[in-house]
Chains A and B, each alone.
Chain A
Amino acid sequence: MTALRAFLTAIARALLLLLAVSAMVFVATELLPGDAAGARASNGATVEQVAALRAETGQDRPAWQRYTAWLGSLATGRLGTSLVNDRPVADAISQRLPASTALVVLALAFAGPLILVIGCWAGAGSRTRGTRTAVVTGLAAVPQVVLAAVLSALFAGALGWLPPVSLLPPGGSPLESPHLLILPVLSVALPTVVFGAGLLAGAVADTVRRPHAVDSRLRGTPTVLFFARDVVPFLLTPLARVVAISAGGLIAAATVVETLFGYPGLGSLLVTSVSARDTPVVQAVAMAAAAVVLGGLLLADVIAVLADPRRAPRPKRRAPRYLGVQP
């Protein structure tokens, strides 16, 4: 019963957070200079023409009215239409969702185990820990665009093993041509690995200092067994949280990779809509990414309850500690 109640509370909390995110994204889009009517109007349009366009698309109403109207239609399952090209937002999203989902799922499937391994490597060394985390942090600083360009130059250019662009057949599934996915997936997965490993290293360091782990080491447990039995079970929750946060980032922020490889995902949709101030589309993509993060964190909480090696009831707490990393 405690688990069920904790779960319901977590769901309610996630929904509230989602609402807060939607309001923040809306306000941020509002604060940008210009609006969708200005972006839609051609360069020579007069002030009156732009105003007419604004009225036609309902953008002349006050911000709070537009926000509540958007919330209302969302509650009935409608994402609205684009302010720039009048198309249903659901169309644009559903076209890109499979490509983004494939990219994110494959990247995380690749990154998850590596995060665990590298996180353990970086966090467990007692004397070399500083150096190891510095290496991970340094790698995390390599911009994604550089990594993608290097991977492409190496595997598509010099070696010629993989195509330099990843155009999906129209209307087809991304899984139809798996070789097209390798470069985009690697380009987003590798930064995720170093980012995640850097975060996990702290949790690893905490775990190896726990009494049971210290005991186990003193008894001379072989390294592999030591990690598998005494460390990794404690890392599942923080790992799930790291993966959840990465997933949200990958959905909305794979723009560089999408552009470089011509791979049509949600990231470029978000960037284009932000620059056109196309609020309904911005909101929809941001909501999708936030829902993935919050859903993943929820899952992490469930894992925390179910997979806690001590099977202890979950301690009560008010604020979620998303990374589970103790100072």
Chain B
Amino acid sequence: MNTPRRHVAAAASALLLLGAGCANTADSSADVPALRYAAVGAPAATATDPHGRVGNESDYTRFAMLYDVLTYPDENGGIQPRLAVSWDSEDLTTWAVTLRDDAVFSDGTPVTAEDVLFSLRRIQGKGAENNGRLSMFDLDASATTGEHTLDLVTKGPYAEFASAVASLTFVVPEGSDDFTGDPVPGSGPFTDTGEGDDTTAVLTRNDAWWGSTPGVERLEILAMPDAQTRAEAVASGQADAAGSISPATASRYEEQDGFTVLRRPGAVNYPLVMDTRTEPFDDPDVRRAVKLALDRDQLVQTVFLGFGEPGTDVLSPNEPTSPDAAPVRRDLAEAERLLEESGRADGIELTLTTTNSYPGMEEAATLAAEQLGEAGIDVTVEVHPPDTYWTEVWNVEPFYLNSLGGSGFVDFARMALLSEGPINETGWTDADFDADFQEALATADDARRGELLGALQSTVADEGGYVVWGLGDGLDLIAEGVRGMPTGPGFNRIFIENATVGG
């Protein structure tokens, strides 16, 4: 007779637990100006270490609010000082960096050059998890030169220093290594209350922050994997802002009172990747034919529902240094002529691999295949499961869709376009390109460097293995009264400290 009783006891204690949960949530959110931001993220994949593997947008946003970074991108893609106030170099290799002297961690200790160097080394040490974020630096040769000054040494001349230390250089107190327990003190605009969970981070304004007073006293960052659910959270008043909603949802709310759709141009890019080492893409004529056979307007209309711009194969068209390329018009006759010239008048058969990791990738591949078919390029679409796409297809298959987000041209070229780049997925090996790239990085004059980088982008657009058929807008939904959400390119989107609600 002891058993049923034990089960009853177990059930009762389960209910008590639930009840206890009820009781201990002191309602600290009452009447405090609070912003609830539903960001892209799977709660189960929440990261606590800002320097390791970060898969969630919600985590990046939280880290940017908790920790200071050296520099950050503004609304126009320019780089602005943040924890670093100035940086200067004679030889573009040893960079004398001056930090602000009024930054303080939430435990009261000042932020010093030692903390910065420690954090940068820790980030570099976890390069395998963070895409080699600081691999251009020789941090063993780098050293602090004072309480708030340090010399950072790059492996070669690197004129784009400011963007190399932008956005993700989260500075933590020297010696911090365990991020799984109590919150590690940061010096950012907000501090972690520790009240949150994997789904919702609860932050409170850091009144000791050196910058202008953040827009809200309380910030809740919600990790939500489904785009529709994020939008509905705002629509039903359970959140104030939703990051990255789908074009279909955006067009529904665009005309509705009480909601605003923010557009972040150039945020979504699903280029077709052609491996220039592999037959038939080793023939420049074939690559050109593919680029000419696509109807880019139709792709943008279908995949992004018009929330975007047709692409010109320029990888990062929204940077200050990007070339002004003419629109690529569909020219089936020319595409067929090129195929004939390359001895493939009977057409080609290809397999284009895609996935549904990100909304629209599958549709983009299907429509592109249809359009290529009209030029005699017979394409079979293969949809690969998302969890193994980035290990089994990406950087492996000769013809697939990639998803490029946010990183600027210099960073991307370093990884993917130099002959020795670690993720050279298009097999782009061009000694001249490599030399010009190094020359650009060794050019101190901004205008001249911009010209050189622009020319490099043009070369890849004309001859390379990327078909940038269109760029979709990043679409955020905000409720009435929310102001100051970032709309700039790249990681500008994670710096939400100036957002306000109501009033």
Interchain CB contact under 8 A, A164 and B235? yes
A262 within 8 A of B: yes
CB contact list, A158-199 vs B, under 8 A = 163-165, 167-176
Q: Choose, from B129-137, B148-156, B369-377, B455-463, the stretch at the interface.
A: B129-137
Q: Closest CB of chain A to B393's CB: distance in Å? A: 11
A138 within 8 A of B: no
Contact partner of A34 among B199, B388, B415, CB < 8 A?
Answer: B388
Interchain CB contact under 8 A, B239 and A43? no
CB-CB under 8 A from B169, the residues of chain A are: none
CB-CB under 8 A from A50, the residues of chain B are: 128
Of all chain B residues, which has the CB nearest A41?
A: B128
A326 within 8 A of B: no
CB contact list, B213-243 vs A, under 8 A = 220, 222, 224-226, 228-230, 232-233, 235-236, 238-239
CB-CB under 8 A from B238, the residues of chain A are: 163, 165, 167
Contact count band on A: 35 or more
Interchain CB contact under 8 A, A95 and B197? yes
B182 within 8 A of A: no
Interchain CB contact under 8 A, B47 and A85? yes
Interchain CB contact under 8 A, A44 and B200? no
Q: Closest CB of chain A to B32's CB: distance in Å? A: 14
Given A34-B391, A49-B128, A259-B226, the answer on whether A302 and B3 have CB atoms closer than 8 Å is yes
B435 within 8 A of A: no
Given A44-B415, A98-B21, A170-B200, the answer on whether A84 and B45 have CB atoms closer than 8 Å is yes
Q: Choose, from A114-122, A214-222, A270-278, A312-320, the stretch at the interface.
A: A270-278
Interchain CB contact under 8 A, A170 and B199? yes
Query: Could you tell me the distance between the alpha carbons of A171 and B21 in the complex, rounded to whole angstroms?
Result: 7
Interchain CB contact under 8 A, B226 and A87? no
Interchain CB contact under 8 A, A95 and B198? yes
Q: Closest CB of chain A to B96's CB: distance in Å? A: 30
Q: Closest CB of chain A to B278's CB: distance in Å? A: 20
Contact partner of B225 among A84, A259, A302, CB < 8 A?
Answer: A259
Contact partner of A164 among B24, B48, B236, B415, CB < 8 A?
Answer: B236
B481 within 8 A of A: no
Query: Could you tell me the distance between the alpha carbons of A269 and B24 in the complex, rounded to whole angstroms?
Result: 25
CB contact list, B1-31 vs A, under 8 A = 3-4, 7, 14, 17-22, 24-25, 29
Query: Could you tell me the distance between the alpha carbons of A62 and B13 in the complex, rounded to whole angstroms?
Result: 40
Interchain CB contact under 8 A, A45 and B128? yes
Q: Closest CB of chain B to A251's CB: distance in Å? A: 13
Query: Could you tell me the distance between the alpha carbons of A306 and B5 in the complex, rounded to whole angstroms?
Result: 13
Interchain CB contact under 8 A, A165 and B180? no
CB-CB under 8 A from A163, the residues of chain B are: 236, 238
Interchain CB contact under 8 A, B53 and A42? yes
Interchain CB contact under 8 A, A262 and B226? yes
Query: Could you tell me the distance between the alpha carbons of A43 and B424 in the complex, rounded to whole angstroms?
Result: 11
A134 within 8 A of B: no
Query: Could you tell me the distance between the alpha carbons of A96 and B46 in the complex, rounded to whole angstroms?
Result: 13
CB-CB under 8 A from A43, the residues of chain B are: 131, 390, 394-395, 423
Interchain CB contact under 8 A, B48 and A268? no
Of all chain B residues, which has the CB nearest A261?
A: B229
Given A85-B45, A168-B199, the answer on whether A275 and B53 have CB atoms closer than 8 Å is no
A7 within 8 A of B: yes
Given A38-B391, A45-B128, A306-B4, the answer on whether A175 and B44 have CB atoms closer than 8 Å is no
Contact partner of A169 among B20, B25, B47, B53, CB < 8 A?
Answer: B25
B255 within 8 A of A: no
Of all chain B residues, which has the CB nearest A40?
A: B53
Interchain CB contact under 8 A, B233 and A165? yes
Query: Could you tell me the distance between the alpha carbons of A268 and B44 in the complex, rounded to whole angstroms?
Result: 7
Interchain CB contact under 8 A, B18 and A174? yes
CB-CB under 8 A from A175, the residues of chain B are: 18-19, 21-22
B43 within 8 A of A: yes
CB-CB under 8 A from A273, the residues of chain B are: 44
B78 within 8 A of A: no
Interchain CB contact under 8 A, A86 and B180? yes
A33 within 8 A of B: yes
Interchain CB contact under 8 A, B235 and A52? no
Q: Closest CB of chain A to B388's CB: distance in Å? A: 6
A223 within 8 A of B: no
Q: Closest CB of chain A to B30's CB: distance in Å? A: 12
CB-CB under 8 A from A261, the residues of chain B are: 229
CB-CB under 8 A from B422, the residues of chain A are: 44, 46
Given A7-B3, A33-B388, A170-B197, the answer on whether A44 and B132 have CB atoms closer than 8 Å is yes
Q: Closest CB of chain B to A260's CB: distance in Å? A: 6
Interchain CB contact under 8 A, B236 and A85? no
CB-CB under 8 A from B197, the residues of chain A are: 95, 170-171, 264
Query: Could you tell me the distance between the alpha carbons of A228 and B128 in the complex, rounded to whole angstroms?
Result: 66
Query: Could you tell me the distance between the alpha carbons of A104 and B394 in the complex, rounded to whole angstroms?
Result: 40
A147 within 8 A of B: no
CB-CB under 8 A from B90, the residues of chain A are: none
Query: Could you tell me the distance between the alpha carbons of A98 and B195 in the complex, rounded to whole angstroms?
Result: 16
Query: Could you tell me the distance between the alpha carbons of A168 and B391 in the complex, rounded to whole angstroms?
Result: 35
B42 within 8 A of A: yes
Given A43-B423, A173-B25, the answer on whether A165 and B130 have CB atoms closer than 8 Å is no
CB-defined interface of B487-500 with A at 8 Å, one 1/0 digit per residue? 00000000000000
Query: Could you tell me the distance between the alpha carbons of A7 and B230 in the complex, rounded to whole angstroms?
Result: 49
Q: Closest CB of chain A to B413's CB: distance in Å? A: 13
Query: Could you tell me the distance between the alpha carbons of A284 and B233 in the complex, rounded to whole angstroms?
Result: 30
Interchain CB contact under 8 A, B129 and A165? no
A21 within 8 A of B: no
With contacts A46-B422, A49-B127 known, what are 18 further pairs, Cβ within 8 A? A33-B388, A42-B129, A43-B390, A45-B132, A53-B129, A85-B45, A85-B49, A86-B52, A96-B198, A165-B229, A168-B199, A169-B25, A173-B18, A173-B19, A173-B25, A174-B21, A176-B21, A299-B3
Residues of B near any A CB (own CB < 8 A): 3-4, 7, 14, 17-22, 24-25, 29, 42-49, 52-53, 127-132, 179-180, 195-202, 220, 222, 224-226, 228-230, 232-233, 235-236, 238-239, 386-388, 390-392, 394-395, 415, 422-423
Residues of A near any B CB (own CB < 8 A): 7, 33-34, 38-46, 49-50, 52-53, 81, 84-88, 91-92, 95-96, 98, 101-102, 105, 156, 163-165, 167-176, 259-262, 264, 268-269, 271-273, 275-276, 281, 295, 299, 302, 306
A/B interface sample: 25 pairs, CB < 8 A: A38-B391, A42-B130, A43-B390, A43-B395, A43-B423, A44-B132, A44-B422, A49-B127, A50-B128, A85-B48, A85-B52, A85-B180, A91-B180, A101-B18, A165-B236, A171-B25, A171-B195, A173-B20, A175-B18, A259-B225, A262-B233, A273-B44, A295-B7, A299-B4, A299-B7
The 4 closest A-B pairs by CB, nearest first: A173-B21, A49-B128, A272-B44, A170-B200
